[in-house]
Amino acid sequence: MSDNKPRYNTSRFPGKTRDSKPNSKPPSRPVSKPSAAGREQADQLRTGDRIVVTVKRLGINGEGVGYYRRKAVFIEGAIPGEVVKAEVTKLSDKFISAAIKEIEKRSPYRVDAPCPVFGICGGCQIQHLSYEGQLAGKEDMVREAFSRYAGLQDVRIKPMLGMEHPWNYRNKAQLQLGMAQEGVIAGLYAADSHKLIDITGCPIQHPKINEAVDRTRNVLQQLQIPVYREKSNQGLVRTIVVRWGFQSEQLQVTLVTASDKLPRQAELIKALRLAMPDLTSIAMNVNPKNTSLVFGNKTVILWGEDSIRESLGDLEFTLSPRAFFQLNPIQTVKLYETVRAAAGLTGRETVVDAYCGTGTIGLWLAPYASEVRGIESIPEAVEDAKANAARNGRGNASFYAGYAEELLPRWVKSGFAPDVIVADPPRTGLDPRFLEAVLRTKPKRFIYVSCNPSTLAKDCKVLLDGGYTIDWVQPVDMFPQTSHVECVVLLQWKNG
């Protein structure tokens, strides 16, 4: 992810005009923009109309949300508390999209985004909001979701767990390569386009990541190793993937290529090692397919170790080029400690870690439980979880490939009834069959870890209707400068 300039040009503010081509026949009087005045219903609006909107909250994608004649208006770049004059860009039955033309009342939380490509690269959405404003906006986002989707007006939401330094927190970059007038560039594609935006010096990535990307790109250019061009299906190197161990201080560089034929390989390895003396591993991943997936199935270690080490608390992990690991290790510890507090373990409880991935949450809880069982549908992740358990001496943690909605009822039938279930699903939320299985199992505590407040609230409504109560919701700011918000929710069985 990266950051960007304001999403609107200065030309959209009053007193500024866009450059225009000379017109031999200028209009005899100024051309006024259409106004919504006199249109009493939102349904009467037209594209291009100007409306005045008071921004109430942040939307799920970081846009400002207000209302015009009781209809929701989404305004990119607007901030809660501001009054803006906006131009209607899209109309639908349920909402209006609009673009800022003038800020009539400015929020005290509005700041100048430090990144030169904020608003262009799409990696960050709310750099123009002070960090205090970001935390408040994200808390409101969670509160709105529970109100809208679960019908809860008084759910107990704890203050957001933020970062002392909300920058330089990402331990991994995965950047596409392309050619520009100045040479090879590494970056992200602009939203809804195939235009590659150079994100050199991205302020949410660790400085070691930025340095390694820059030096790797320079070496590729110096050795004239061809960059892949999607349109012509020519060239070689598609993507640079760099990972830095915050605790181990080890550096891993992976080149994703369209072919396993790497020209000037020995020179490349030598040049990369000279450019980055702290390198631990150089790898090549081969992805010959024209696909949105970054990695292919084949990975070759060109030099150094086949993985780097990293740790969370007292847990140590080895990370191969394709291995999943949390992108913000500082906040991950806060997240996992919140889960542990919610679990209320005394050493006698049995725990199921559903959607367990590589087993990090289950392994975090294992020293405080009698037994932990993890379930994950991706077999490779299960193998990683087993290896992580063995490496860290978590003998009471076991991991199974399969689907929680199938394995959980089977275990209960055989006599294993968990006291605590933890679920950390993807953004789409919990499978309805899994929710049914939980309601049949009735664990005393259900801990929901979510990266999407909307699906979280919807799933919690099902659990509430089935006999659970919400003790509290703890938001955690895993990705400052972006609109993403993580939550931990403790639900307890009413009769438990």
In sequence order, what E strands does 69-212 have? 71-76, 83-91, 95-105, 172-180, 183-189, 196-198
Burial string for 158-179 (b: 16+ CB within 10 Å, else e) reads eebbbbeebbbbbbbbbbbbbe
Rounded CA-CA distance 299/297 in Å is: 7
CB atoms within 10 A of CB 454: 18
Consult the annotation and say whether 326 binds a ligand. Answer: yes
Q: Which long-range contacts (CB under 8 A, 24 or more apart) does 259-268 make?
A: 259/286, 259/288, 260/284, 260/286, 260/298, 260/300, 261/236, 262/225, 262/236, 262/302, 263/225, 263/236, 264/223, 264/225, 265/302, 267/223, 268/219, 268/220, 268/223, 268/225, 268/302
Dihedral angle sign, alpha carbons of residues 210, 216, 222, 225: negative
Q: By C-alpha distance, which of 84, 80, 86, 85 is closest to 109?
A: 80
Strands 315-319, 397-401: pairing is unpaired
Do residues 393 and 382 lie in contact, with contact meaning Cβ atoms separated by under 8 Å?
no
Angle at Cα 312 formed by Cα 309 and Cα 314, nearest 5°? 95
Consult the annotation and say whether 376 binds a ligand. Answer: yes
Dihedral angle sign, alpha carbons of residues 222, 228, 231, 232: positive
Q: What is the DSSP letter of 367?
A: G
Do residues 68 and 42 lie in contact, with contact meaning Cβ atoms separated by under 8 Å?
yes
Consult the annotation and say whether 355 binds a ligand. Answer: yes
Active-site residue, selected from the candidate residues 121, 202, 451, 460: 451
User: CA dihedral in degrees (283, 289, 295, 301; nearest 10)?
Assistant: -20
Residues 6+ apart with CB under 8 A from 216: 186, 240, 242, 253, 255, 272, 275, 276
Known catalytic membership, residue 451: yes
Do residues 73 and 56 lie in contact, with contact meaning Cβ atoms separated by under 8 Å?
no
Do residues 238 and 291 lie in contact, with contact meaning Cβ atoms separated by under 8 Å?
no
Token pair recorded at residue 324 = 């999943």
Consult the annotation and say whether 481 binds a ligand. Answer: no
Backbone phi and psi for residue 398, each to the nearest 5 degrees, phi listed first: -130, 155
Dihedral angle sign, alpha carbons of residues 73, 75, 80, 85: negative
In sequence order, what E strands does 331-402 have? 350-354, 371-376, 397-401
Instruction: Name the residues annotated as catalytic.
Output: 451
Residues at the binding site are 326, 355, 376, 424
Residues at the binding site for S-adenosyl-L-methionine are 326, 355, 376, 424
